[in-house]
Amino acid sequence: MARTALGAREVLIAQKRIRKVLNRIPIIRSESLSCRVQGDVWLKLESSQPTGSFKVRGALNALSGLEDLSGGIVTGSAGNHGLGVAFAAESLGIKGVTIFVPETAPEAKIRRLQAFAIDLRFAGTTYEHAHQAAVEFAKQQRAVYIPAYDDEKIIAGQGTVGLEILEELPEIELIIVPVGGGGLIAGIATAVKELAPSVEVVGVQAQASPSAYLSLRDGTPYDPFDHAETIADGLAGGFGAKPFYLARSLIQRILLFDERVLRECVYTLLDEERIVAEPSGAVVIAPLLEADDTLRGKQIICVISGSNIETGLLREILFEFSER
């Protein structure tokens, strides 16, 4: 596998493109979480993006400047990447968009996708099924395939989150990032570690899908990855080769959390901060809830990556924890 040469320069270029369409996403201080660690905890609200997820950043960067689109564009997604591609295509005036999602994709994400002028198709029950269906479609129709995470332009676009963090909080010591395919953490780590080497970058994953944890432990990217069932659909599946080779020496550690903790994170953000977050994004506060002594007294920012949670799941979690 060829190593990527992506650096902060490419992330800065991506930022210039993205700012033509997207506004800066707010960072807020969490009083309750700050008290838990006796430090300063900040939340980067990517959940407030127009698609409800950070994925729109990478999609806008990847679609900018595409030339031969006679066969259209296509992607496979668990939901949020598809929303990012649909929004980016609409913003850039690109037609002929086909998006494959698994039949098990959350209804909240399906409804949002159906609001765009795209050809929405279903394939299998996992992200990997949707990805393979999209790859095959691209071959048959000569469409441009837009990867969900294993692509330098996608990674550079996601890395703009890191630039915004440093611009607003140059004193930050630790960035906690949710990890699925790896595009977000690889992009953030690339930008941040080049510009501010002392900043720690820590990833969090669902215990049901520990692909990044195992990839870094074993020194090889596991993608695809056969994961167990999890409510964090955005974190389920493999850890991409390009994110792995780019960020393996830049990530301090990957932490794993079970489904009970994922649900507690969703509840805590809503109850204490009035923030609606899907499990894949809420999980970043898990290390703070676990009272990890290594976090005490630090300047920390948690990237809340998405808000597209099923109403039924949210209601279930609220009932479960409010009864305690």
Residue 149: CB atoms within 10 Å: 26
Full-prediction pTM beyond 0.85?
A: yes
Q: How far apart are CA 177 and CA 92, in angstroms?
A: 28
**Do 306 and 51 meet the contact criterion of CB atoms below 8 Å apart?**
no
- With a pLDDT cut of 90, the percent of the chain lying above it is 94
Contacts of 91 (CB under 8 A, 6+ apart): 21, 60
* Average pLDDT along the chain: 95
Residue 269: CB atoms within 10 Å: 25
Partners of 304 in the β-ladder: 45
The CATH class that applies to domain 8-52+155-322 reads alpha beta
pLDDT higher than threshold 80 for residue 138: yes
pLDDT band at 324 (very low <50, low <70, confident <90, very high): low
Segment 305-322 mean pLDDT:
95
pLDDT band at 322 (very low <50, low <70, confident <90, very high): confident
Do the domains at 8-52+155-322 and 55-145 have one common CATH topology? yes
pLDDT higher than threshold 60 for residue 284: yes
Angle between helix 311-322 and helix 259-273 axes, rounded to 10 deg? 80
Residue boundaries of the structural domains of the chain? 8-52+155-322, 55-145
Residue 209: CB atoms within 10 Å: 25
pLDDT higher than threshold 50 for residue 2: no
pLDDT band at 277 (very low <50, low <70, confident <90, very high): very high
pLDDT higher than threshold 90 for residue 112: yes
Q: How far apart are CA 116 and CA 82, in angstroms?
A: 10
Write the burial class of residue 172 (CB in 10 Å: 0-12 exposed, 13-18 middle, 19+ buried): buried
Q: In this predicted structure, what is the pLDDT of residue 1?
A: 40
Q: Per residue in 159-190, pLDDT tens?
A: 999 999 999 999 999 999 999 999 999 999 99
pLDDT higher than threshold 50 for residue 217: yes
Please, what is the end-to-end C-alpha distance for the chain in angstroms? 50
Q: In this predicted structure, what is the pLDDT of residue 105?
A: 92
* Phi-psi map region of 196: left, alpha, beta (phi>0 left; psi -120 to 50 alpha): beta
Q: Which CATH number fits domain 55-145: 3.90.550.10, 1.10.760.10, 3.40.50.1100, 1.10.540.10?
A: 3.40.50.1100
Whether the bond into 287 is cis, omega within 30 of 0: no
Q: In this predicted structure, what is the pLDDT of residue 85?
A: 98
Instruction: Assign 3-class secondary structure to the chain.
Output: CCCCCCCHHHHHHHHHHHCCCCCCCCEEECHHHHHHHCCEEEEEEHHHCCCCECHHHHHHHHHCCCCCCCCCEEEECCCHHHHHHHHHHHHHCCCCEEEEECCCCCHHHHHHHHCCCCEEEECCCCHHHHHHHHHHHHHHHCCEECCCCCCHHHHHHHHHHHHHHHHHCCCCCEEEEECCCCHHHHHHHHHHHHHCCCCEEEEEEECCCCHHHHHHHHCCCCCCCCCCCCCCHHHCCCCCHHHHHHHCCCCCEEEEECHHHHHHHHHHHHHHHCCCCCHHHHHHHHHHHCCCHHHCCCEEEEEECECCCCHHHHHHHHHHHHCC
Residues in the chain: 324
Segment 107-122 mean pLDDT:
95
Give the lowest-confidence range in 106-110, 201-205, 206-210, 215-219.
106-110
Segment 4-30 mean pLDDT:
93
Q: Per residue in 32-77, pLDDT tens?
A: 999 999 999 999 999 999 999 999 999 999 999 898 899 999 999 9
